Structure 1
Amino acid sequence: MTPIPPTDKRAQATAALARYHLFDGPPEPDLQAVVELAAQLCQVPISILFVIDAEHQHQVAAVGIDTAMCRREDSMCSVAMVTPEPMYVEDARADPRFVANPFVTGQFQRFRFYGSTQLRAPDGFVLGTLCVFDEVPRVLGEQQRAALDRLARMAVDVLELRRHGFLVADLLRQHQRTRAALEGTNETLRHFAAQLAHDLRSPLTGILAYTAELRLMPTVNADADASWCTDRVSAAALRMGTLIDDVLAQATAANAGDPVDVDLAEITRQVLDDLAVQIMEADAEVTVGELPTVPGDRTQWHILLQNLIGNAVKYRHPQRRCQITVTATTDPAWYRVCVADNGIGIPADQREQVTRPFTRLNPGHSPGHGIGLSTCTRLVHTHGGRLQIGDTPGGGATVCITIPTGTG
């Protein structure tokens, strides 16, 4: 009786064969060359490459015969697949394993000689066999047996190449789908950015109009503090308008623009102007060291520094005056910009977590949505750099941005 494997093994066989797409793709011409060479080297009229799934034996390539498929239990190769060594049967009529097999009795064929070696996949799973047959008894020499083994390994290499070819094709299709999805997402984001810019411009235009009217009022012109506040509101509104234009330009551009020289000292002055009210209310002391001009995007650097300095103000320590320092160091290969504070700090085991979107370690401490540091991390990555969070000596957090110079 031909051994019938348990259900789980048969399912495993079906799954293993599915990787090679032998039944849902074009025939593999190199496998046909393998069986033709096997027949010539072994000097037999029939050579077949079989694979066996849960229920059937399938002919993948053959010479001298046209038996496409048979039941697994009728297959002579089902025996060879569970035999540790290659199988060579001089006369199947004298072998109790095959004497009643339909390929021996004449029901299907009248095979006498049978030789086979396993097709063993790289993971050790036996996919099938490379077989040679004759209708008369015969014996294969050692060189012929060795050649059949080498051809079986060659057939497995062909199958592996086929499998990898289908994997590459699948990856290409997945890439095309992902690219199409991203293009759709980018288009949605462009529409969203355009709508958002439009919606923000209406109140911004109103602010500029109101400040222009305030400047015309004698009481405002006569009051130095009122005039100063009006000028600051107007300058902040104009910067906001520029920021909206820059964000919209980036969102709607087909390709990212080339980096430009960004004067970080100028950007930091603008950020401090924008945060003047928060800094004043916190009674914070901000010290700015000498800052370089770096390659990058002005808008993104403005967002970066505004988030970092704003966080330093927001997460100040309740029992000491808020002190913030903005410094930079340079190297031929990189720039490093750091914002240090003496606030409540960020525990070491939570620093990776706070760079994820919508993460807030102290939800009740101050308003916000937990996207500031995640935005900073993403923007730093667009500059090819990295963002690191550390401790400030004496307490607090130090956040450093390191980006390449582009010349190192």
Structure 2
Amino acid sequence: MTDQASGRRTARGSEHTDLLSQYGLGMALGEASPVGSMPRPAAPANAPAALQNLVALAVQLCNARYGAINVITEDEFHQIAAKGLEPLMCAREDSLCGQVFKYGHTVVVADCTEDPRFRSNPFVDGRFGAVRFYATTPLLTQDGVPLGTLCIFDEKPGNLTDQQAAGLETLAAQVVDVLDLQLRTRQLDATVSELQRSNELLGEFAGRISHDLRGPLTNVVGLAELAEDEPALQEGPAGTYFKRIGASALRMSSMVENLLGYSRVGGTAHLETVSLAEAVAAAVDDLGHHVDGVEITVGDFHGHADREQLRVLIQNLVANAVAYARPGVPSEVHITGTGIAEFWRLDVADNGKGIPPEEYDRVLEPLVRLGREGDPSGTGIGLATCVRIAQAHGGRLGFDQTPGGGLTVRVWFGSSPA
């Protein structure tokens, strides 16, 4: 073999090795057995149970005694699932499938002892076995790359009808579908892990940035307040300027806090059975004087939720209900939970201004505010934070109109709405 041809073979082998590793079949990539050495038990493949079922179905369909799903490399033959025998591994040259793998199509042999390709094979001539009837079909990826074979065999002569051969090929395609699903699952797991790592880094970055911003902003606010207390600075434009500086710094400080909160929630939810009344009490306690005089009622309910995230959710919704109260109308907020602990819905109903139905989707986006006359200042982060919390619990957030006027925010917890 020329150096150039050897290089091409090595490249093909490397590509096939990489492909097998992607499919989680890297257990077939160990040190190859010497040609002619006795087969040994196959290394654990951790193959899906569905593969074992497909092998059993192939054996039953073809009226054979044995069957196997095999991974074939440049040098090695490795059974990852088998029916009628324990999975084994051996040198590729010693295996039956290794001899016809290159054909890329179904091969049926009625009697291996009468076929010159196989009569001297150790699995036929008695050294490793006494196979007579044998049929195999390749496991081809969508790109036509062979991963291995699905084969059936017996110690007595036999044959396949056209229907049985077609069925064997269909089962081989199902084997590849199972392996593809396993591949996609592995890729998804890797993506999820990378996203979790990225979110953790983003949260740490947001925390550092917010800390760095809060220090200067606190100084600005403090200096503005000191300036406002100086009699010499109360008159003229300077007093107005300092008041505006202080107000702007306070608004920016509030936005930094809200953005930090938004970056921290919505990750993994640590579920436990939480009392809705206790979560509301904790949120109201955090809101302090902002809810003085507001009638807040809560129903008795226990549901599965992340305790801290549920508190943040209720705190944001109650704060919004109070902030967007109708002028001259005492604020009322009614909080209830319905459903079962695993799949439940939280309703927070107020009697305030409400939100026009055509704006329901838009207000859920970060930094979006309606900007109506008389509305308080804000950052537009609160509802977006609530959406992330709902999503972290496998649920969603939606709106409805409160009978008599106002807004009802509905939050579903769990993958099935309560």
TM (norm. structure 1) is 0.55
Deviation, 1:299, is 5.7
SS in structure 2 of the partner of residue 116 of structure 1: strand
Deviation, 1:46, is 1.1
SS in structure 2 of the partner of residue 104 of structure 1: coil
SS in structure 2 of the partner of residue 242 of structure 1: helix
- Residue in 2 that maps onto 1:15: 18
1:53/1:197 CA distance change after superposition, 3 Å = farther
Alignment of 1:246-395 (within 5 A): 246-253=254-261, 293=372, 298=377
* Structure 1 residue 149 corresponds to structure 2 residue 228: no
| Distance in 1 separating the partners of 2:115 and 2:73 | 25
- Residue in 2 that maps onto 1:213: 232
Q: Could you say which structure has the larger radius of gyration?
A: 1
SS in structure 1 of the partner of residue 208 of structure 2: helix
SS in structure 1 of the partner of residue 103 of structure 2: coil
Retained in 1: the 8 A contact 2:104–2:138? no
Deviation, 1:18, is 1.9
SS in structure 2 of the partner of residue 39 of structure 1: helix
Deviation, 1:68, is 1.8
Retained in 1: the 8 A contact 2:221–2:246? no
Residues 260-318 of structure 1 deviation map (CA, whole Å, 9 limit, x = unaligned):
77xxxxxxxxxxxxxxxxxxxxxxxxxxxxx97379984659xxxxxxxxxxxxxxxxx
| Distance in 2 separating the partners of 1:71 and 1:56 | 5
1:191/1:98 CA distance change after superposition, 3 Å = same
| Distance in 2 separating the partners of 1:34 and 1:183 | 46
| Distance in 1 separating the partners of 2:106 and 2:61 | 17
Retained in 2: the 8 A contact 1:80–1:86? no
SS in structure 1 of the partner of residue 124 of structure 2: helix
1:149/1:201 CA distance change after superposition, 3 Å = same
| Distance in 2 separating the partners of 1:16 and 1:253 | 43
SS in structure 2 of the partner of residue 236 of structure 1: helix
- Residue in 2 that maps onto 1:122: 142
| Distance in 1 separating the partners of 2:9 and 2:375 | 64
Deviation, 1:115, is 0.8
Deviation, 1:59, is 0.5
| Distance in 2 separating the partners of 1:253 and 1:294 | 27
| Distance in 2 separating the partners of 1:294 and 1:25 | 67
1:71/1:298 CA distance change after superposition, 3 Å = farther
* Structure 1 residue 239 corresponds to structure 2 residue 247: yes
Alignment of 1:136-175 (within 5 A): 136-175=156-195
2:372 partner letter: T
Residues 7-31 of structure 1 deviation map (CA, whole Å, 9 limit, x = unaligned):
2222222222223224487331111
| Distance in 2 separating the partners of 1:34 and 1:81 | 20
Of 2, 6, 9, which aligns to 2:9? 6
1:192/1:36 CA distance change after superposition, 3 Å = same
| Distance in 1 separating the partners of 2:252 and 2:169 | 70
Q: Which moved more, 1:41-50 or 1:141-150?
A: 141-150
- Residue in 1 that maps onto 2:210: 190
SS in structure 2 of the partner of residue 177 of structure 1: helix
Q: Give aligned-pair identity as a percent.
A: 28
Retained in 1: the 8 A contact 2:80–2:87? no
TM (norm. structure 2) is 0.54
1:296/1:91 CA distance change after superposition, 3 Å = farther
- Residue in 2 that maps onto 1:40: 60
1:241/1:150 CA distance change after superposition, 3 Å = closer
- Residue in 1 that maps onto 2:114: 94
1:88 partner letter: V
| Distance in 2 separating the partners of 1:20 and 1:62 | 19
Retained in 1: the 8 A contact 2:51–2:81? yes
